Structure 1
Amino acid sequence: MSDKIPFLLQTDRLILRKITLQDAPFILNLVNTPGWLQFVGDRNVHNEMGAKSFIQTWALDRYKTFGYGPYMIQLKSTDQLIGICGLFKRDYLEYPDLGFAVLPEYNGKGLAHEASKTVIKYAFEVLKIPKLYAITAQKNANSSKLLTRLGFNEIPPFNGSTDKTFELTH
């Protein structure tokens, strides 16, 4: 996929696209929401410059290295940015894991589910990845429920982690 051609996935309500440095204000907000801080962790992103640096390593470098990464979720009807959903390669996992986060006001509306289903389909059918993982904090009941609804099964955690680990095989 050429960097000049924008990556785009669509659902009935959503557009998923590659994250760009211009998304720094949104990312700054997202990574400092209470849910992100509680369940993902503090990424030490406290200003727009920090957000751009975070985007470079967290998203742009992943696109170049792996051909995938996190994608921006925006509402089709308004172009409003609402969260991220994508694939993350971890050193200790053979296959990427699915990650997602939406702003608190968009929780419970089925949007993370809709975005995740689309990313899973893309991973299996286009990228030909045979298996995906998902990792979430023990206390993140909403993410665990969503992963189960998406067809993921809980498995023993890797590397002695205390997080819940899930897998989905194509």
Structure 2
Amino acid sequence: MANLIGKNISLRALEPEDIDFLFLTENNELFWEVSSTQVPFSKHLLKQYINNAHQDIYEAKQYRFVICNSTNIPIGMIDLFDFNPQHNRVGIGILLLPQYENKGYATDALELVIDYAFQYLNIHQLYANITSENKKSIALFEKLNFKLVGTKKDWIYTNKQYKDELLYQLIK
């Protein structure tokens, strides 16, 4: 797959040289809540993941894009997951390193992947799961016309408390 080019970012496939970025990101406890991670990943396991990242979305049912800034530095990731071609839907999640937030990068990346999913995967809907206190993500997805369709009560258990998870959909 060729890179997807936005206004201020590009999206590309995972590459072997992304191992350190992936290691730091996946092992950052700040992100574990949204990824349902409970233990750190080894570099060995992440290398295996990168080696299999070439799989087609129809085979793997998921695809991870690396978000790069204009100088080609990785600044985040955007994932398509639970791809279901029978029902023409796919989940979407985005993660930016905190120092790159509030610069328009997330909007640019999300717009690119929305266009990609509808144009090339011929899906009918995208969905996102967002914890109810994640105001930045809620604002981002609502800005791009995702609609709140439900609340999963006490869905996420983290830091000895339960959090609600909101379900957003974009249907075309």
**1:116 partnered with 2:110:** yes
1:29-108 equivalence runs, <5 A: 29-42=24-37, 44-55=39-50, 59-61=53-55, 63=57, 65=59, 69-76=63-70, 78-89=71-82, 94=87, 95-108=89-102
Q: SS of the residue aligned with 1:109?
A: coil
Whether contact under 8 Å (1:15, 1:73) holds in the other structure is: yes
Identity %: 24
Whether contact under 8 Å (1:39, 1:140) holds in the other structure is: no
* Count of residues in Structure 1 that have an aligned counterpart in Structure 2: 161
For residues 86 and 144 of structure 1, the distance between their equivalents in structure 2, rounded to whole angstroms, comes to 17
Give TM-score scaled by structure 1 length: 0.80
Structure 1: 5+ residue runs without aligned partners?
A: 1-5
Give TM-score scaled by structure 2 length: 0.80
For residues 135 and 90 of structure 1, the distance between their equivalents in structure 2, rounded to whole angstroms, comes to 14
For residues 44 and 61 of structure 1, the distance between their equivalents in structure 2, rounded to whole angstroms, comes to 25
Give deviations 1:92-127, integer Å, cap 9, x for gaps: x94111111011111111111110011001111222
Question: What's the CA shift for 1:42?
Answer: 2.2
Whether contact under 8 Å (1:154, 1:165) holds in the other structure is: yes
Deviating more after overlay: 102-111 vs 64-73:
64-73
For residues 165 and 82 of structure 1, the distance between their equivalents in structure 2, rounded to whole angstroms, comes to 25
Match of residue 149 from structure 2: 155
Match of residue 171 from structure 2: 169
Question: What's the CA shift for 1:144?
Answer: 1.3
Higher strand share: 2
Structure 2: 5+ residue runs without aligned partners?
A: 156-163
Q: What root-mean-square deviation, in Å, do the aligned CA atoms of Structure 1 and Structure 2 show?
A: 2.6
Match of residue 3 from structure 1: none
For residues 44 and 112 of structure 1, the distance between their equivalents in structure 2, rounded to whole angstroms, comes to 27
Whether contact under 8 Å (1:45, 1:51) holds in the other structure is: no
